[in-house]
């Protein structure tokens, strides 16, 4: 691993590159790294996926538990996302309770899925008022070279769409696929060298400023937005990345079963 | 359109349950200098929302490991008081509060001239005393006033407001009753003078057209709130508080 | 806000003032600050009060929950006080789990109310052995310029005596006032400049020594005492402040509904 | 008087369930030097209460932020062992223990000459092995002996005892059975020589006259306990322990 | 108490002693300190023991609770060991949540008992699927001058073998002795001055290297092993201490009722 | 022998449920250099066990209080991922993980030349992605490879394997199904060249003869695993990974 970059020098270098519309690894401003998606990689999970984007590698695993429905929604199951980015995935991730950055990661990935309505909570009911399925999505970073948000969101959709509800193991009916009606996909942008780029690597994140995460569903519907880190952006800048996100989310959507 | 199950939240004339039209925000009151022991403070009453912000500092940042060599750290805490909600909120760790504290700090850091105070810390405490819907927006707005009341130099003031969707219609600034049936929420933090965004979240479902409408409502709402902020600061500094 | 006082200089200044029987803000030894009490200030609480004593401002909110009675007291409800003094209320209060000082505050306020017997726990029973009301008192400091103990205790009594048991919301009968049969009131004394004073401001607390908290009920019955901080006092000193507490608690009692 | 429901804890001759009169304390045993690896230690058996106190230090206080420039910090921990009560006590955080630790430390700081040891720390560990009623008093008393056993200079020794009320009658030093029906509890920490108070708590219901009686019983009880403390220290330092 | 030893000097001194096959306190390599065992010392525990080995003093207390059996073992009770070594027992034990060293202590003592099978879990059943006894063993250090492992294990066996199941207090039948069918005993060895010694004192622990804990049951069956701390040992070294452990565990076994 | 209730795990020819004989270990695959951002890493697939180890450092150890003046600290974490087991593992504190992390660190410290890096820290992260039985052994083995892959100087490589007993018969390397009926478990960490032990645990019930047999099986198993480790490192350093 290279020595940890000095942010000020890195920042200057990135600004210099930006002047010529270049990036550290030669990609164009809105060019993403190659995305590899493999499903069924975790034998103990009921749905799983590994996503590789350059040197960023993540896993997503879907597990099921039986819960008692909340009194005000007796025919609804539950959905929960957990992202504890463990120190295995990079020297900058430390042990301990989830950092604010890890909490944000988990919540933004969760909202993109939950708010799209792709999971029909009433379909998870087993016995009204008594038993329902709780879907637990664990996203897990193995190697963080930037843009964990998109890697997690992609792995999450791939894992959910191949998940099997384990009715037999819990003795509540037959196994059946988890119904996932839509494919919300996330695209993330970082301000690097003054302008926004898509799919930043770790060194662009370190030397960059604010980031914007956009989750779009079928028909370009917006399901989730999040601006993170210090920085201001204009309405025009936002319109430009929203345009790119519409096109790129559609491409990613086609890579998922 | 206009129906969600059998609950109709907007009538055929486009009037909402509390009498507002689609683009109206709730009544807003702002006061500065409400916490005598703080270096700066503000109270925002936004509909039924009641939010207090207090600012302490700049002060030495310790432990030293949190110090930044070239600027001040903004230590922002958003918290809901236990009696702020119908069901009591249990005090303590809460992922939602952590996330809101983080994005609020990042919004305010953009406008505060933190580089004037290297190695120091500015504490911003946001307490929600009564919660309706939109507490994070009221908190960011209150914190802007409190920072100004504390005399912390800023490049701009941040006003935060959220639009949403209900019964398939885009409306501005959902109240609690509307929020219970809401289909989307788009909170934004906008700089009063530049119009730039420093805070943005969204969840729910908005078509591209609906999204644009919600965005526009937010942009149009900040002017009147900004005036209330300035009046509150003038009143507090005029010694009338 | 003034610069944080240097304790040693402040201590010397307070000692000098004490020689002439004076105080920082011109009050007499046993003179309290003006007390303003307002009830019904928190729309989401079933009982609430704001108390202002000089630059000290506190809130108290009463909430109700339904609990299962303890097996050994099947017809009793519950009462709990929570005082987490949050950093909004002063530069000296830090974030994190409750400090020992905050724990003491909550426990002393709680004991004064609980031990007076002013809450009839059996009146809180809904269905013996199955359901009872738990009364939760949250005291909350907005601005700490000294003597949070008395401000909290006063706000607590004002909130409790105006609280409504929310039977309808929980679908267990009609709303009715919480019965509170007595009015225990607290008076607190700090050793400042060598002698005890009543209702110390924050700078007197910083430059002072031990403190004594006295809760008296109807007919001058003693319900709670607490000595805090390093320091020793004589029986005569205690008798003097007890005399004052009897008179002052009666005055405060008249300010509460 | 003399009846609480159908439980009579004091008979018509004023004799309590364990044979004591109103002003009597329970049998007390004190030993010093019971923890070989500690710098000072003591064991107090007070009725069925069994309490151990150990003292370590003075030692360097760290982390440095807890250091006081002009004196030693007294780091006092009061803890009930899991097997000290009929229902097992779960180890871990406990608001009651935190409060008792705090008031105990404040009582002892008043008599320890902490200014002799700037920037240092003296650890005082109080462990309740068997609890009856009055463990905080037994703990303060044991800690006084342990500090003396460690050779820590003190201006006075603190003895702690509690009076209470049962069946409407004020009595000294309630045992567990009495405490279950007790109507008040007034624990005090009194300096052996000066008679000054360094520790005071109370809860329950006492009329002004009852309060005075309870106060007097406590004041009268400390003499005999003080003698046992001195004997224990002499025995330990005489090398017989 | 002596000043805390400087590890390097202490280490050199211990190496010097080892050359002449000597130890700090004059004992032989495999000679244990005198062991005193007293039972019934904790009136609130249903079984208890105090063990004194030189300046090491520990307590063990056995308590019982009623638990709901686990669904997959409806006729089994439970057993739990808790070792929180509190700061009363030595300047080197600090307050706070259990340290890794304390966790290891508790788990190794627990395994030696649990894995020997000396507690018949099905005998703890009260009502299949509904109620069973949970045995809770609390080991508690009063004074740590080394070898807490063996002191705890010995106190634990002495407490368990004299424990009475409190059926009457819980209203589930008569009181009866807890059946404990075997006597697993532990012997611990530390590498000190290059070779392993038995029953190290604290200063030998500080100046030594790795340690090995062996729990043997009736007929020399091995029930638990644990190697702790940095260090390597040979098969021959292990065989030598295993030989000694067989002999010493038998001696200790005879000291227990 | 050969029966435990009505479950027979070893047939009359000594063949186990997965076809192995008593002394056989499960199929093992080892890869080095699998985590691009780590300084060293390894993946061990041992039967169905899937374990990743990553090494970061040597780096400055902070906070300073964890620094050792004469050597590097090995900061080892063993963790089971939430999806590694049939019932989801809740993330967070766990006594079992703490103990395994501790004994793993102590085993590795014995072979790593920590004295070459005073005041520094070497982080070793062991993540169990799929757990069968024997994850602690797979973790130690993976960590050895990851340390070598990171170029950390070591005196020897540690291989860890466990033998056990089932149906009264001693067998090597129990799989999950066997482990459910297992009567003993003897995991050992053995140095490849010296044959010394740096890790040893055991629980269950083994007679002296059974113990010797289990010990011998472990000793005999390490050679083939050591070869796979070397191959993996050669392949990774040959640039083929």
Residue A134 has a CB neighbour count (10 Å cut-off) of 17
Rounded Cα distance between C200 and C197, Å, is 7
Cβ <8 Å between B99 and A107: yes
Q: Are C157 and C149 in contact (CB under 8 A)?
A: no
A41 CB contacts (<8 Å, ≥6 apart)? Answer: A48, A49, A50, A59
Q: Is the pLDDT of residue D3 over 60?
A: no
Closest CA to E89 of C51, D117, D41: D41
Q: Give the residue on F whose Cα is nearest the Cα of A142.
A: F35
Which residues pair with residue B51 across a beta bridge? B44, B128
A12 CB contacts (<8 Å, ≥6 apart)? Answer: none
State mean pLDDT over D185-213.
97
DSSP state letters, chain E: -PPPPPHHHHHHHHHHHHHTT--TTS--TTPPPPEEEEES--TTSSEEEEEEETTEEEEEEEEEEEEPPPTT-TT--EEEEEE---GGG-TT--SSSPPHHHHHHHHHHHHHHHHHT-B-GGGGEEETTTEEEEEEEEEEEEE-SS-HHHHHHHHHHHHHTT-EE-TTTTTSS--EEPPB----EEEEEEEETTEEEES--HHHHHT---EEEEEE-GGG-EEEEEEESS--B-HHHHHHHHHHHHHHHHHHHHH--
Partner chains of D (3+ C-beta pairs under 8 Å)? C, E
State mean pLDDT over D133-139.
97
Q: How far is CA A235 from CA A192, A220, B200, F87, F173, in A?
A: 18, 19, 11, 47, 62
Pairs of residues, one from chain B and one from chain C, whose beta carbons lie less than 8 Å apart: 82
Chains C, A in contact: 3+ Cβ pairs under 8 A? no
Cβ <8 Å between E224 and F203: yes
Tens-place pLDDT, residues C164-192: 999 999 999 999 999 999 999 999 999 99
Chains E, C in contact: 3+ Cβ pairs under 8 A? no
Residues of chain D contacting E, Cβ within 8 Å: 35-39, 48, 52, 54, 56, 59, 77, 79, 81-86, 88, 91-92, 123, 125, 127, 129-131
Partner chains of E (3+ C-beta pairs under 8 Å)? D, F
C83 CB contacts (<8 Å, ≥6 apart)? Answer: C98, C102, C103, C105, C106, C109, C138, C139, C140, C152
Q: How far is CA A178 from CA A115, B197, C83, F5, F190, in A?
A: 17, 39, 46, 39, 46
How distant is the Cα of B29 from the closest Cα of chain A, in angstroms? 27
State mean pLDDT over C123-145.
97
Residue B5: what pLDDT?
53
* Phi, psi (degrees; rounded to nearest 5) at E251: -60, -45
Cβ <8 Å between E222 and F206: yes
* Phi, psi (degrees; rounded to nearest 5) at B146: -65, -40
Residues of chain E contacting F, Cβ within 8 Å: 98, 100, 103-104, 106-107, 111, 114-117, 210, 212, 217, 219-235, 238
Chains F, A in contact: 3+ Cβ pairs under 8 A? yes
Task: Give, as one character, the DSSP assignment of residue F27.
Answer: P
DSSP state letters, F41-65: EEEEEETTEEEEEEEEEEEE-SSGG
Nearest to B204 among A210, A212, A223 (CB): A223
Rounded Cα distance between B216 and A6, Å, is 41
Helices (H), B22-134: 95-111
F71 CB contacts (<8 Å, ≥6 apart)? Answer: F114, F115, F117, F118
Closest CA to A170 of A126, A201, A129: A126
Burial label for C177, CB within 10 Å (0-12, 13-18, 19+), is exposed
How distant is the Cα of D148 from the closest Cα of chain C, in angstroms? 19
Which of C214, C220, C230, C240 to mutate to probe the D interface, most D CBs <10 Å? C230
Residue E179 has a CB neighbour count (10 Å cut-off) of 14
Longest dimension (CA), chain B: 60
Cβ <8 Å between D200 and C230: no
Q: Is the peptide bond before B163 cis (omega within 30 degrees of 0)?
A: no
Cβ <8 Å between D208 and C103: no
Q: How far is CA B151 from CA B29, B37, B233, B237, in A?
A: 21, 15, 10, 10
Cβ <8 Å between C95 and B77: yes
Residue A7: what pLDDT?
85
What pTM value is reported for the model? 0.94
Closest CA to D18 of D31, D9, D30: D9
Q: Is the peptide bond before D58 cis (omega within 30 degrees of 0)?
A: yes
How distant is the Cα of F1 from the closest Cα of chain A, in angstroms? 32
Question: How distant is the alpha carbon of residue C30 from its chain centre?
Answer: 18
Tens-place pLDDT, residues C206-245: 999 999 999 999 899 999 999 999 999 999 999 999 999 9
Nearest to D110 among C100, C107, C232 (CB): C232
State mean pLDDT over D198-217.
97
pLDDT under 70: residue ranges of chain B: 1-6, 239-241
Helices (H), chain C: 7-19, 100-116, 148-160, 202-206, 235-255
Rounded Cα distance between F167 and F10, Å, is 8
State mean pLDDT over F195-200.
98
Q: Give the residue on E whose Cα is nearest the Cα of D39.
A: E1
Q: Is the pLDDT of residue C3 over 80?
A: no
Domains of chain B: 28-234 (3.30.230.70)
Q: Give the residue on A whose Cα is nearest the Cα of F125.
A: A88
Q: Are E207 and E192 in contact (CB under 8 A)?
A: yes
DSSP state letters, C101-127: HHHHHHHHHHHHHHHHT-B-GGGGEEE
- Extract the tokens encoding D86: 């009929």
Chains B, E in contact: 3+ Cβ pairs under 8 A? no
Tens-place pLDDT, residues D46-73: 999 999 999 999 999 988 888 999 999 9
Which of A83, A142, A160, A206 to mutate to probe the F interface, most F CBs <10 Å? A142
Rounded Cα distance between D181 and A181, Å, is 64
E44 CB contacts (<8 Å, ≥6 apart)? Answer: D83, D84, D85, D86, D130, D131, E61
Question: How distant is the alpha carbon of residue D108 from its chain centre?
Answer: 11
Q: How far is CA F130 from CA A66, F32, F50, F89, F138, in A?
A: 22, 18, 5, 11, 11
Residue F216 has a CB neighbour count (10 Å cut-off) of 15
Q: Are E108 and E226 in contact (CB under 8 A)?
A: yes
3-state secondary structure of A160: helix
Query: How many Cα atoms within 13 Å fall on the side-chain side of residue D109?
Result: 19
Residue F228 has a CB neighbour count (10 Å cut-off) of 17
How distant is the Cα of A249 from the closest Cα of chain F, in angstroms? 26
Q: Are F209 and F215 in contact (CB under 8 A)?
A: no
Interior CA angle at C8 toward C7 and C9, to 5°?
A: 95
Tens-place pLDDT, residues B218-228: 999 999 999 99
Interior CA angle at A248 toward A243 and A254, to 5°?
A: 140
Nearest to D83 among E48, E86, E142 (CB): E48
Domains of chain E: 5-256 (3.30.230.70)
Whose tokens are 């403070």? That residue is B41
Tens-place pLDDT, residues C25-80: 999 999 999 999 999 999 999 999 999 999 999 999 999 999 999 998 999 999 99
State mean pLDDT over C150-155.
98
Q: Are D106 and C226 in contact (CB under 8 A)?
A: no
State mean pLDDT over A244-253.
97
- Extract the tokens encoding A206: 């370190």
How distant is the Cα of B2 from the closest Cα of chain A, in angstroms? 20
A179 CB contacts (<8 Å, ≥6 apart)? Answer: A119, A120, A123
Rounded Cα distance between B81 and C63, Å, is 12
Give average pLDDT by consecutive 10-residue segment, chain E, 257 residues.
67 96 96 98 98 98 96 94 96 92 95 95 94 98 98 98 97 96 96 97 96 96 97 98 98 94
Rounded Cα distance between C222 and C116, Å, is 8
Rounded Cα distance between E227 and A235, Å, is 64
Residue B153 has a CB neighbour count (10 Å cut-off) of 12
Cβ <8 Å between E42 and D129: yes
Tens-place pLDDT, residues C14-35: 999 999 999 999 999 999 999 9
Tens-place pLDDT, residues A2-34: 445 578 899 999 999 999 999 999 999 999 999
How far is the first Cα of chain C from the last one, in angstroms, to the nearest whole number? 35
Model confidence band, residue C5 (pLDDT cutoffs 50, 70, 90): low
Q: Look over chain F and give the mean of its residue pLDDT values, rounded to a whole number.
A: 94
B120-130 and B49-60 strand pairing? antiparallel
- Extract the tokens encoding F153: 């100087």
How distant is the Cα of C108 from the closest Cα of chain D, in angstroms? 9
Helices (H), F72-130: 95-111
Residue F6: what pLDDT?
60
Question: How distant is the alpha carbon of residue C209 from its chain centre?
Answer: 20
């Amino acid at each position: 691993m290279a020595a940890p970059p000095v942010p000020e020098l890195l920042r200057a270098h990135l600004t210099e590159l930006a002047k010529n519309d270049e990036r550290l690894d030669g990609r164009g401003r809105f060019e993403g790294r190659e995305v590899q998606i493999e499903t069924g990689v975790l034998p103990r999970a009921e749905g799983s996926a590994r996503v590789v984007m350059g040197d960023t590698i993540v896993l997503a695993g879907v597990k099921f538990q039986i819960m008692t429905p909340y009194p005000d929604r007796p025919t609804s199951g539950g959905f929960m996302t957990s992202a504890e980015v463990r120190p295995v995935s990079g020297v900058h991730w430390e042990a301990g309770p989830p950092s604010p950055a890890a909490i944000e990661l988990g919540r933004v990935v969760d909202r993109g899925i939950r708010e799209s309505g792709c999971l029909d909570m009433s379909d998870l009911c087993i016995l009204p008022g008594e038993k329902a399925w709780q879907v637990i999505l664990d996203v897990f970073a193995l190697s963080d070279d930037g843009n964990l948000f998109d890697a997690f969101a992609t792995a999450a959709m791939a894992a959910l769409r191949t998940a099997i509800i384990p009715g037999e193991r819990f003795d509540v009916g037959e196994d059946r696929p988890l119904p996932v009606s839509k494919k919300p996909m996330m695209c993330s942008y970082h301000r690097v060298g003054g302008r926004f780029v898509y799919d930043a690597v770790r060194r662009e994140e370190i030397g960059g400023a604010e980031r914007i995460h956009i989750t779009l569903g079928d028909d370009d519907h917006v399901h989730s937005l999040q601006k993170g880190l210090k920085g201001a952006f204009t309405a025009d800048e936002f319109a430009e990345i929203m345009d790119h996100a519409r096109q790129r989310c559609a491409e990613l959507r086609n890579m998922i079963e | 359109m206009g129906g969600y199950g059998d609950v109709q939240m907007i009538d055929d004339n486009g009037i909402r349950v509390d009498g507002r039209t689609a683009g109206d925000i709730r009544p807003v009151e702002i006061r500065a200098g409400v916490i005598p022991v703080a270096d700066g403070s503000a109270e925002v009453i936004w509909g039924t929302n009641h939010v207090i912000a207090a600012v302490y500092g700049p002060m030495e940042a310790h432990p030293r490991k949190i110090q930044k060599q070239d600027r001040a750290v903004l230590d922002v805490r958003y918290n809901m008081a236990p009696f702020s909600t119908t069901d009591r909120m249990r005090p303590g760790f809460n992922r939602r509060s952590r996330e809101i504290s983080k994005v609020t700090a990042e919004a305010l850091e953009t406008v505060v001239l933190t580089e004037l105070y290297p190695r120091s810390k500015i504490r911003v405490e946001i307490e929600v005393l009564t919660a309706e819907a939109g507490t994070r927006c009221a908190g960011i707005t209150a914190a802007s006033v409190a920072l100004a009341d504390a005399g912390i130099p800023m490049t701009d003031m941040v006003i935060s407001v959220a639009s949403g969707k209900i019964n398939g219609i885009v409306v501005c600034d959902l109240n609690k009753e509307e929020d219970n049936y809401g289909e989307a929420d788009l909170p934004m933090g906008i700089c009063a003078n530049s119009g730039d965004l420093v805070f943005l979240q969204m969840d729910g479902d908005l078509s591209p057209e609906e999204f644009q409408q919600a965005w526009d409502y937010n942009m149009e709402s900040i002017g009147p709130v900004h005036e209330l902020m300035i009046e509150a600061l003038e009143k507090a500094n005029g010694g009338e508080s």
